[in-house]
Structure 1
Amino acid sequence: MNQQNKYLFPFIMVTSLFFFWGFIHNLDPILIKHLQSAFSLTHVQASLVDSAVFVAYFIMAIPAGIIMQRYGYKTGILVGLALFAIGCFLFIPAANTISYTFFLGSLFILSCGLTILETAANPYITVLGDPAKATQRLNFAQSFNGLAATLAPIVGGYFILAEEPKSQEEILALSDQARIAYIQAETSLVKGPYLVLGLVILLVAVIFFFVKLPEIKEDDHAGQPSGFLSALRRKNVRGGVIAQFFYVGAQVYIFSFLLVFAKEVLGMTGQESKIYAGVAGLLFMIGRFVGSFLMKYIAPSKLLAFYSLMASILILIVIFGSGVATLYLLVATTFFMSIMFPTIFAMGIQDTHADRKPASSLIIMSIVGGAIIPLIASKITDLTKHMQYSYFVILACFVIILLFALNNKEKSAVIKTTA
């Protein structure tokens, strides 16, 4: 069996993971909108959904790296899938107890599983084939994350936002008993989707248990020391950690608060605006496939610089613009966000050799930006009562990514010239 055939089925299986964690992440905007209405939450309180998810990345990334170093990629994937499924199942008692804190705890456990999966799958894809095509291969795998971003809002909108929720004033006007009954009914809507997803993840875990995955041994690179401190000494790893922190924060805020933007800036109902979440996911997916194709001809850092520049321009117009065009441009921004995560990741861990697994953990750890950036942006909205001003934070994120791309041309040049 040649090497390409040897890696084909493992590549397919690992790529499926990108779809599953993309699906769960892109249910979050629906969940935020739903829980914000059900529990009458402020913007900052609603953003705690993102905080619960992405704090897990900060806490679990290094333990995930240690698991991989000691036990390998397959064990990491199995542990991640187990926690993923458990977190999904915990949504049932969370809904039954109508506890927002319980929901946040369930999301945290679920996200601990996602952290381990991403720490394992992202670097595994980059070494599962020709090293010269690592960035292109990771962008292709991440395209299925984009497919999930298209489908999740449709599924979530159908099952979770089936009916327009009551306004905060309408909820407060209810009697105590009626209010509890209403919140119970609203929170119960999330049980079905998360139960089904948990069962699917368990099935995937069983398949992975019996599938033989090639364990890739990292190059010791002439006996050089490996570890987290060694990885941080590398310029591209440090830059990748910083750029990924701000990218994930920007992505999470744009996707998670898209429906809130439509409601507060344009006065749209959830029924009217949920289609835009699906369109945003579709553009995100298309952007990844287009980016994977363009990387055959354009150096990844140049493409990353162009995409981040275009995203910055669109967000600038969103801040100062008015009318429904601002929503269209906000949705269009997702096309240019599409290649950022995998390209930053691949450039960040390139040429790390024995430091690949700790470097991967550190860059995954920086996903905690998804917990911090939305909180800062939401605080600006609550203070100014003007949601468009919060996107100054997102503009700063894209400028930082642009600087990372411009400062890492040599990494991209290696990928391009050897492809």
Structure 2
Amino acid sequence: MKKIHPKIVLPVLFSFLIVSFVDLVGTGVDELKQSSETPAYLLQLIPFVAFIWFFLLSVPAGIWQSKVGKKKVLSLSILITAIGLFVPVIGNTLPVILLSFSLLGIGNTIMQVSANPLLMDVVPDEKASGFLSFSQFIKSLGSMIGPYVAAVVGPLIAQSIGFEGEGAWRFGLYLFGAISVLAFVWLSYTSINEEQTDSTQVSFSSCLQLLGNKYIALMVLGIFAIVGVDVAINSNIGAFLQLKIGVEEEAAKYGKTVYFFAKMIGTFIGGVILMKGNASKFLKVSALLALIFVLTLTMVENAVAAWVLIGLVSLGVSNVFPLIFSITVGQYPARSNEISGLMMMAISGGAIFPFLVSLAMEYHLNGGLWVIFGLLLYILLLTILKPTKL
């Protein structure tokens, strides 16, 4: 039976703070919206270039890590992320920010392919769901402080060194880049014994063949849906609060902070419950609550009620990703590299649904919420129909 060794578990958990930095896409959208005349829907290119890499690189990363090991792949991904965070030193233009978030997306793709199964390698099997939820708590902590660091700490750093140009928010990215370098060094000097799989069986073909398994295919679509919900809310919540509720632009930017603060609380509570609780039942309750809160959000016009409901939606969706991941890998532990690659590929939902939600809001103020409602309805049906393991 595996035991928990803090000196091994902690640097792996810390890597999930680095995973959170990709959620700065929402901040990138808001900041460039203030400093350029680029249409709002074109600014959704920022989450697109960050999350499309999950579709392109996840399966190859899963194959690669089966040959060289999860820790090596995770270390390299953190380094790529650090480079991406320092790229905006070139400028505050849309092309530069797109390049920066492309590198963040590449690093984040590889990072999530390796970090999730590596964490499962270093904790007891019966506590895997709990630790994965706790890892999402760490990610949510980073996501929550990200907008504050960019909007407040970044300009303070810029002011302290006498920088007076446009885009002072970028100094927050440099701070996160320095943290990424520290995470790289810490993990590099940590010795980890990984659970071995038969790398000779892992190929691009073997990964895609797993989609012929109805159970795995439907669960992968669940990841596609929940990440679409998460990123769409992150990158569109400010516009929603402005257009429908009438919240001022500066205050609306912190809608994502409320969302990620509630998500942080939700993942912490989920991590505690799932150390002993039933993952399947918890997934059903989470999806149902999120669905109810989104439906209610379409009906409100009061600012306080909207802020509260945003937090409640976040509580509902906070544990869905780690639950789907851990439940599926728990059914097929010997195929963890391939499943991880497929599920991380499904994170490309974060590249597609922000566009759809933003466009839907152009036609109707609640249009984006109805798209999110549909995605959550699929996840709820997934828990009710219970696709059987083949």
TM-score normalised by structure 1 residue count: 0.84
For residues 388 and 141 of structure 1, do their structure 2 counterparts lie closer, same or farther at Cα, with a shift above 3 Å needed? same
> How far does residue 234 in structure 1 lie from its aligned partner after superposition?
3.2
Does residue 344 of structure 1 match 2:321? Answer: no
Match of 1:290 among 232, 247, 269: 269
Q: Secondary structure at the match of 2:289?
A: helix
For residues 376 and 319 of structure 1, do their structure 2 counterparts lie closer, same or farther at Cα, with a shift above 3 Å needed? same
Q: Match of 1:367?
A: 347
> How far does residue 101 in structure 1 lie from its aligned partner after superposition?
2.0
232-241 or 29-38, larger mean C-alpha shift? 232-241
Does residue 334 of structure 1 match 2:331? Answer: no
CA distance in 2, matches of 1:263, 1:160: 24
For residues 129 and 318 of structure 1, do their structure 2 counterparts lie closer, same or farther at Cα, with a shift above 3 Å needed? same
Match of 2:386 among 408, 414, 417: 408
CA distance in 2, matches of 1:290, 1:41: 40
How many residues of Structure 1 are paired with residues of Structure 2 in the alignment? 379
Asked if structure 2 preserves the Cα contact closer than 8 Å seen for 1:151 and 1:278, the reply is yes
Deviations 1:348-369 (A, max 9, x none): 2223233210110000000000
Q: Which amino acid aligns with 2:22?
A: H
Q: Which amino acid aligns with 1:381?
A: M
Q: Match of 1:20?
A: 18
Asked if structure 2 preserves the Cα contact closer than 8 Å seen for 1:266 and 1:323, the reply is yes
Asked if structure 2 preserves the Cα contact closer than 8 Å seen for 1:65 and 1:360, the reply is yes
Match of 1:59 among 56, 59, 63: 56
Q: Which amino acid aligns with 1:353?
A: P
Q: Match of 1:354?
A: 334
> How far does residue 379 in structure 1 lie from its aligned partner after superposition?
1.2
Asked if structure 2 preserves the Cα contact closer than 8 Å seen for 1:159 and 1:189, the reply is no
CA distance in 1, matches of 2:37, 2:246: 17
Identity %: 25
Q: Match of 2:161?
A: none
Deviations 1:94-146 (A, max 9, x none): 42xx3x12211221112101111100011111232222222122112221112
Q: Match of 1:239?
A: 218
Asked if structure 1 preserves the Cα contact closer than 8 Å seen for 2:22 and 2:105, the reply is no
Q: Which amino acid aligns with 1:115?
A: T
Q: Which amino acid aligns with 1:56?
A: W
Matches within 5 A, 1:288-327: 288-296=267-275, 298-324=277-303, 325-327=305-307
Q: Match of 1:414?
A: none
Asked if structure 2 preserves the Cα contact closer than 8 Å seen for 1:60 and 1:115, the reply is yes
Match of 1:189 among 146, 168, 171: 168
Asked if structure 2 preserves the Cα contact closer than 8 Å seen for 1:230 and 1:355, the reply is no
Q: Match of 2:368?
A: 390
For residues 66 and 354 of structure 1, do their structure 2 counterparts lie closer, same or farther at Cα, with a shift above 3 Å needed? same
Q: Match of 2:160?
A: none
Asked if structure 1 preserves the Cα contact closer than 8 Å seen for 2:78 and 2:107, the reply is yes
> How far does residue 275 in structure 1 lie from its aligned partner after superposition?
4.3
Asked if structure 2 preserves the Cα contact closer than 8 Å seen for 1:283 and 1:334, the reply is yes
Q: Secondary structure at the match of 1:215?
A: coil
Q: Match of 1:399?
A: 377
Does residue 126 of structure 1 match 2:153? Answer: no
CA distance in 2, matches of 1:194, 1:245: 27
Q: Match of 1:166?
A: none
Q: Match of 1:116?
A: 110
Match of 1:8 among 3, 6, 9: 6
Structure with greater Cα Rg: 1
> How far does residue 28 in structure 1 lie from its aligned partner after superposition?
2.3
CA distance in 2, matches of 1:315, 1:160: 33
Asked if structure 1 preserves the Cα contact closer than 8 Å seen for 2:290 and 2:376, the reply is yes
Q: Give structure 1 stretches of 5+ with no counterpart.
A: 163-183, 412-419
Query: In angstroms, what is the RMSD of aligned CA positions?
Result: 2.4
Asked if structure 2 preserves the Cα contact closer than 8 Å seen for 1:302 and 1:409, the reply is no
CA distance in 1, matches of 2:170, 2:262: 29
Asked if structure 1 preserves the Cα contact closer than 8 Å seen for 2:294 and 2:373, the reply is yes
> How far does residue 279 in structure 1 lie from its aligned partner after superposition?
2.6
CA distance in 1, matches of 2:30, 2:306: 19
For residues 150 and 114 of structure 1, do their structure 2 counterparts lie closer, same or farther at Cα, with a shift above 3 Å needed? same
Asked if structure 1 preserves the Cα contact closer than 8 Å seen for 2:58 and 2:109, the reply is yes
TM-score normalised by structure 2 residue count: 0.90
Q: Match of 1:204?
A: 183
> How far does residue 225 in structure 1 lie from its aligned partner after superposition?
7.8
Asked if structure 1 preserves the Cα contact closer than 8 Å seen for 2:236 and 2:357, the reply is no
Q: Match of 1:173?
A: none
For residues 263 and 197 of structure 1, do their structure 2 counterparts lie closer, same or farther at Cα, with a shift above 3 Å needed? same
Does residue 381 of structure 1 match 2:334? Answer: no
Deviating above 6 A after TM superposition, structure 1's stretches of 4 or more consecutive aligned residues are 223-226
CA distance in 2, matches of 1:200, 1:123: 23
Q: Secondary structure at the match of 2:3?
A: helix
CA distance in 2, matches of 1:390, 1:215: 42
Does residue 150 of structure 1 match 2:174? Answer: no
Matches within 5 A, 1:24-35: 24-35=21-32
